[in-house]
Amino acid sequence: MKSLRGLANQGFIRYYPSEMSIATKTGDAGTTGLMFNRRVSKCHPRVEAYGSVDELNAALGLARASAQHPFIRENLLSVQKDLVTIMGELATLVEDLPKYVQKGFSLVSAALTEKLDVLVKEIEAQKVSFHGWATPGDTESSAALDVARTTCRRAERRVCALHEADQLRNPDVIIYLNRLSDVLWLMARWVETQTVEAKPPGTLV
């Protein structure tokens, strides 16, 4: 088990002893830290990528807090934990990845997406289907899931940009985010079938 101080000394996290403030002022010049004490501009494509995934994690937290169904809450929490793995990899320069793995951190793999594929099959087995456009807002829970879905799509776009700039060489990150947006769409539609008594023709069947 790595201590918080030990991780900080290796450049993995920011560790604040009780006498220190969260306001370190190290970012006042417009730069931020990556893994292994690297620093880049706060508007760097890498920061845009992992920052968007961080926003996605927050949106999922809101969706989980508003969810009425244990199925949704439990699976969203699992996804949030997976996003930590994604953010860690995105916050590491390509040349530092061997060191990152050597330190015991995991890279995104097909196994993470496979868990989402199982979720897709489970929800679709409930006969959730849709004709036409979905209009978010039938319920608070489904609306929160739709916000998370669109946030996921934005994160996917930022990660694709990083990949096209040859600053991300692991395609499993993009595949995971693409599948996650599908899962969130299905979850939102499933929630609506559980909470809305009547739907107009041409929507959920």
Read off the amino acid at residue 135: T
What pLDDT sits at residue 18? 59
Residue 102 has pLDDT above 60, yes or no: yes
- Please say if the pLDDT value at position 104 is more than 50: yes
Q: Is the pLDDT of residue 29 over 90?
A: no
The whole-chain average pLDDT of the chain stands at 86
pLDDT value, residue 199:
45
Helix axes of 70-90 and 45-66: crossing angle, nearest 10 degrees? 170
Two tokens at 172? 């499993």
* CA distance linking residue 16 with residue 8, whole number of Å: 9
Q: For residue 189, which of 130, 131, 149 has the smallest C-alpha distance?
A: 130
Pick the CATH number of 41-195 from 3.40.50.1820, 1.10.420.10, 1.10.10.10, 1.20.1200.10: 1.20.1200.10
Phi/psi region, residue 108 (left: phi>0; alpha: psi -120 to 50; beta: rest), is beta
Q: Which two tokens stand for residue 52?
A: 């968007």
Who wins on pLDDT, 64 or 201? 64
* H or E segment and range at residue 40: strand 39-41
Higher pLDDT, 144 or 134: 144
What average pLDDT score do residues 122-140 get? 83
Residues in the chain: 205
Model-level pTM? 0.83
AA letter at 99: K
pLDDT value at residue 195: 64
Instruction: State the sign of the Cα–Cα–Cα–Cα dihedral 65, 68, 70, 73.
Output: negative
pLDDT digits (tens, 9 = 90+) for 162-177: 999 999 999 999 999 9
Assign 150 a pLDDT band (cuts: 50, 70, 90). Answer: very high
Lowest-confidence region among 35-49, 63-77, 129-143, 178-192: 129-143
Asked if pLDDT for residue 14 goes beyond 70, the answer is: no
| Reported confidence tier of residue 4, pLDDT bands at 50, 70, 90 | very low
Mean pLDDT calculated for residue range 127-144: 84
